[in-house]
């Protein structure tokens, strides 16, 4: 699945590996929704907070991630790709 240049709040996204420096939950749950977008002029790109649904506490936010760590869309439990 190709990378998108930018995302909006509410977009379905997949967090891409490597996960070694990320919260442990990302080893099991890669799919979520963009919860916040932060533009950093000194980096020349946006950073994204991703909200995961099946977490305790619910709707945990992880990140921030640069756009190149995200892919638009995610797979449902049957393996079907859901994207825009």
> How much is the pLDDT for 2?
42
pLDDT digits (tens, 9 = 90+) for 39-52: 877 767 899 999 99
Provide the domain count of the chain: 1
Better-predicted residue by pLDDT, 75 or 3: 75
Q: Is the dihedral of CA 35, 41, 42, 45 positive or negative?
A: positive
Nearest to 32 by CA among 57, 62, 56: 62
On whether residue 30 sits in a domain, the answer given is yes
On whether residue 4 sits in a domain, the answer given is no
Domain boundaries, position 62: 12-73
C-alpha 18/C-alpha 4 separation (Å) is 18
- pTM given for the model: 0.80
On whether residue 6 sits in a domain, the answer given is no
């Amino acid at each position: 699945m190709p990378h998108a240049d930018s995302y909006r709040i509410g977009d379905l996204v997949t967090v891409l590996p490597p996960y070694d420096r990320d919260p442990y939950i990302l080893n099991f749950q890669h799919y979520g929704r963009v919860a916040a977008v932060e533009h950093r002029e000194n980096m020349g790109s946006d950073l994204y907070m991703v909200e995961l649904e099946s977490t305790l506490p619910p709707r945990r936010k992880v990140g921030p991630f640069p756009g190149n760590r995200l892919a638009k869309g995610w797979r449902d439990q049957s393996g079907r790709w859901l994207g825009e």
